[in-house]
Amino acid sequence: NKTLSDVDNKQQLCKRQEPQTRSLCSIGLYTSALFSQPETEFPTSITKNSTVFVKTVIDQDTTLLVDSCWFSTSSQPNDQNTERKMVVSHGCKIDDSLNWLNEPSEA
């Protein structure tokens, strides 16, 4: 099982490209491609080869870029010495198992 302890459903401030401008954005884990039922228990255990649904939302009509995304089996996923399974790096998909969904239930 892999554990995601670093992802939560709290809203965070995200820098936009324009200086001095901020947008409110959120990221969350969901139980299905409908994105209607968020995960509520963290850390979350994920079995190998299972599907994980991650939703990102921004409060303005702008582009949101996911710069990096990874999975870790560590309880300290931000530790620089922790092994990470990269899925997105520098905004690019690097794992063939990743599917981008633009609308709920496209899976």
**Number of domains making up the chain:** 1
**Residue 38 gets which letter from DSSP?**
B
Q: Is the pLDDT of residue 88 over 50?
A: yes
Average pLDDT, integer, range 8-17: 43
Does 105 fall in a domain? no
Residue 99 falls within a domain, yes or no? Answer: no
Is 77 inside a domain boundary? yes
CB neighbours of 41 closer than 8 A, spacing ≥ 6?
A: none
Residue 104, domain member (yes or no)? no
Would you say residue 103 lies in a domain? no
Average pLDDT over residues 12-26: 59
What CA–CA distance (Å, rounded) separates 70 from 23? 23
Reported as a pLDDT band with limits 50, 70 and 90, residue 19 is low
pTM above 0.85, yes or no: no
Question: What is the predicted pLDDT for the residue at 60?
Answer: 76
Whole-angstrom distance, CA of residue 41 vs CA of residue 82? 22
Domain containing 60 equals: 2-93
pLDDT at 28 over 70: yes
Mean pLDDT (the chain, rounded): 75
Distance (Å) of CA 82 to CA 14, 37, 88: 25, 30, 17
Does some domain include residue 100?
no
Residue with tokens 């620089």: 80
> Is 60 among the domain residues?
yes
